[in-house]
């Protein structure tokens, strides 16, 4: 009894019912029109509801991912203080520079002392440890008081030779000893500084590698966090749009014209039948 026709070049539908009772035909058309509108609204509402539930689930997942990643970044920061590591590396580098400068100064001082030692040894080789002095007996304190002139004259003719320590030699020897002590003191310092430089360089390399690894980990975590945040913001806006769409309660299908009772039946066409007969 029901026929649905689409009106050309429009978005309108025409519902037609054939029935022996005009009133019954009108009721059927009106009922089908109401049911069609109800079905359309339920269909749209179901699509919005399904879309909304999907968006809500995705939104909750995005928020959970974002919160989890932010907690990971927080824990990473608590375990690894990158600023402290950077300060430690800078401190070690300053200490390394100071040690290298100190090593250069001490090596230069050692070279200077070694040159001084060589020069002192050359000088001491040209000196005698003892010098021989010659003097007459009359110059001896015990002989100075002699009264006899003849005896005095005799004493003047008698020469006495004595050995005395060479003060120049003694001074040079003392300087050599002091210089050797200084050299022997500087050498252990140089060895210590060299070893300290090696240890500091190794430690700096290890800490810098650890710092770079942690910086890369933090960079990766921040990139992931940015991705999660963008997804969260996008879904948040979509959820809000879905809520607005639900609030509007879209109902695009409506009745343009209610059914009307025909003035005369369309069948049977008695006159045509008689004429044809």
The H or E element containing residue 198 is helix 167-248
Token pair, residue 89, equals: 């590396």
- The residues, any chain, with a CB within 8 Å of residue 260's CB and separated by 6 or more, are 26
Overall size of the chain counted in residues: 277
pLDDT in tens, 171-211: 989 999 999 999 999 999 999 999 999 999 999 999 999 99
* Confidence label for 105 from pLDDT (cuts 50, 70 and 90): very high
Backbone angles phi, psi at 12, to 5 degrees: -100, 145
Answer yes or no: is pLDDT of 36 > 90: no
Token pair, residue 29, equals: 């058309």
Q: Is 182 in contact with 143 (CB distance < 8 Å)?
A: no
Can you tell me whether residue 18 is helix, strand or coil? coil
* Confidence label for 259 from pLDDT (cuts 50, 70 and 90): confident
Instruction: Provide the whole-model pTM.
Output: 0.52
pLDDT in tens, 237-253: 877 776 666 655 545 67
From the list 237, 244, 245, the residue with the least C-alpha distance to 44 is 245
The three-point CA angle 180-184-190 to 5° equals: 135
Rounded Cα gap, residues 174 and 168, in angstroms: 10
Rounded Cα gap, residues 85 and 117, in angstroms: 47
Q: Residues of the chain with pLDDT > 90: what percent? A: 37
Residue listed under structure tokens 């402290």? 84
Can you tell me whether residue 6 is helix, strand or coil? strand
DSSP classification of residue 272? H
Rounded Cα gap, residues 216 and 76, in angstroms: 12
Answer yes or no: is pLDDT of 11 > 70: yes
Most confident segment among 36-50, 63-77, 151-165 = 63-77
């Amino acid at each position: 009894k029901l026929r649905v026709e689409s009106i050309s070049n429009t978005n309108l539908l025409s519902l037609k019912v054939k029935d022996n009772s005009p009133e019954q035909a009108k009721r059927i058309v009106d009922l089908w029109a109401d049911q069609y509108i109800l079905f359309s609204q339920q269909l749209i509402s179901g699509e919005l509801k399904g879309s909304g539930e999907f968006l809500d689930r995705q939104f909750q997942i995005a928020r959970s991912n974002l919160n989890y990643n932010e907690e990971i970044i927080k824990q990473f920061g608590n375990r690894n203080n990158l600023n402290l590591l950077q300060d430690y590396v800078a401190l070690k580098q300053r200490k390394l520079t100071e040690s290298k400068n100190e090593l250069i100064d001490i090596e230069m001082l050692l070279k200077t002392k070694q040159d001084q030692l060589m020069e002192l040894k050359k000088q001491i080789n040209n000196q005698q440890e003892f010098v021989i002095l010659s003097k007459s007996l009359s110059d001896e304190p015990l002989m100075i008081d002699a009264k006899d002139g003849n005896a005095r004259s005799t004493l003047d003719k008698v020469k006495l030779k004595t050995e005395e320590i060479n003060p120049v030699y003694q001074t040079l020897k003392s300087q050599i000893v002091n210089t050797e002590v200084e050299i022997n003191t500087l050498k252990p310092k140089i060895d210590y500084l060299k070893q300290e430089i090696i240890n500091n360089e190794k430690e700096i390399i290890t800490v810098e590698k650890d710092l770079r690894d942690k910086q890369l980990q933090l960079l990766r975590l921040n990139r992931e966090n940015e991705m999660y945040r963008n997804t969260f913001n996008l879904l948040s806006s979509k959820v809000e749009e879905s809520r607005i769409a639900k609030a509007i309660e879209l109902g695009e299908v409506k009745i343009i014209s209610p059914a009307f009772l025909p003035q005369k039946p369309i069948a049977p066409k008695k006159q045509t039948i008689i004429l044809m007969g």
